[in-house]
Amino acid sequence: FDQVATTFAFLGFSLPTFFTGILMILLFSVYLGWLPFVYDSEVTGFWPNVKQSIMPVAVLGLAGAAQLMRFMRASMLEIISQDYVRTARAKGLRENSVVLLHAMRNALIPVITVLALQIPEVFGGAIITEQIFRIPGIGRALIDGIYSKDVPVVMAITFGIAILVVTFNIVADILYAVLDPRIRLS
């Protein structure tokens, strides 16, 4: 499992989003015909909207999931060799209990930092994905604002993304205190 996950993480991390998006369009829209090629804002109904959202969500999620997998693996490998994990095993705890209660909880701390930065990136950094799939989203509005020199629109979108970054960093700090009792917010 580790080799498969590492290979997936390597591919997801090394392939740029525009390349992944084009590959998915070729495979699922052109060759197989399963999913629509471009986003249509006039589509009604739940399932047609889900079908046209599958590829953009997969493209955005692939790189983020690969990065999280790499961080989680590295963090778990570091934590597994700690003394308190060996002590928990020596006390006779089951391996699931040792991994889930002792190791994973502490391994999540650096992963939360990465996740806190990835969530605003989905809102602001999806510009390329929106261009590939022709989605009229925030990134498209930002590009249009830059090209038309509409400063208030550019400032509003940039300010909104900055608020998201600050908000999710605060949430990450709160989660640090929840995961590690040694960290206290005062």
Q: 3-state SS of the chain: helix, strand, coil percent to 5? A: 80, 0, 20
pLDDT tens series, the chain, 186 aa? 778 888 888 888 888 888 999 999 999 999 998 998 888 888 888 998 899 889 999 988 888 888 888 888 888 888 888 888 888 888 888 888 888 888 888 888 888 888 888 888 777 668 888 888 888 888 889 999 999 999 999 999 999 988 988 998 898 888 888 877 677 666
> Residues near 30 by Cβ (< 8 Å), separated by ≥ 6?
37
2-179 maps to CATH 1.10.3720.10: yes
d(CA 19, CA 101): 39
Domain boundaries, the chain: 2-179
Distances (CA, A) of 157 to 81, 115, 117, 147: 44, 21, 17, 14
